[in-house]
Chain A
């Protein structure tokens, strides 16, 4: 189970803006360790965001997305008190889901 995300979802003027920080090493797979061996890529591959169970964003990420990734997007609708959830999966089979209340 991955580490907790920091998610902020704010509803205003009929739309909800989401800003999220995910805790993930996002290892690119290019670096070498002290013995000269490649450190294998370890990164988030899929991200899904949903509002009250309806998908509002999907993403596929490669290893070039930065460590501790930041994501921001906006969707129409959403109101304070409703739920916004974000899930990610990585290439080693780890995953994480966090849900917040829209403010």
Chain B
């Protein structure tokens, strides 16, 4: 490992101290998300990290646009009509790290959420939910394009 002084200075805070002390590498400091699923690069492995194989379900509505003018901000949302839905995960299949976000719904909260994710390229957004302890999934493709120079 060749950590130049410039690289060390650019990593700030606690991680920077750890790098300068040689305890972790620059690469480790950058890929610091150690949560299962979030640091997984393969879509299949990321799904597998949920601990089961989801069944495709028509009772999950995936609300994403058909086309995203800019992949930096793609509105994604999902609603689960499956009873006892407790958790929901959003995967962007061709992203470097496919698992984008997970949500947990306590009793009394609708299993429905909206947020926005970055999409590196046109691909499927896959929503997995856990309901009654079982996993279900639905997908929808969003095409990502970059607009022209204006606007």
Contacts and interface: CB of A to CB of B under 8 A. Distances in A.
Interface of A: 15, 28-30, 33, 35, 37-38, 40-41, 45, 54-67, 69-77, 91-93
Given A60-B101, A64-B95, 7 more contacts: A15-B110, A38-B30, A41-B33, A59-B102, A64-B118, A65-B100, A92-B12
A41 B38 CA distance: 13
Contacts of B77: 72
B116 A92 contact: no
B30 A71 contact: no
B81 to A, nearest CB: 14
A72 B101 contact: no
A62 B106 contact: no
19 contacts: A33-B10, A38-B26, A41-B31, A55-B106, A57-B104, A57-B106, A57-B113, A61-B100, A61-B101, A62-B99, A64-B117, A65-B117, A66-B116, A67-B72, A71-B113, A73-B112, A73-B114, A74-B112, A93-B14
Contacts of B115: 65-66, 69-72
Interface of B: 6-7, 10-15, 26, 29-33, 35, 38, 72-75, 77, 92, 95-97, 99-106, 108-110, 112-118
Nearest to B13: A92
A76 B10 contact: no
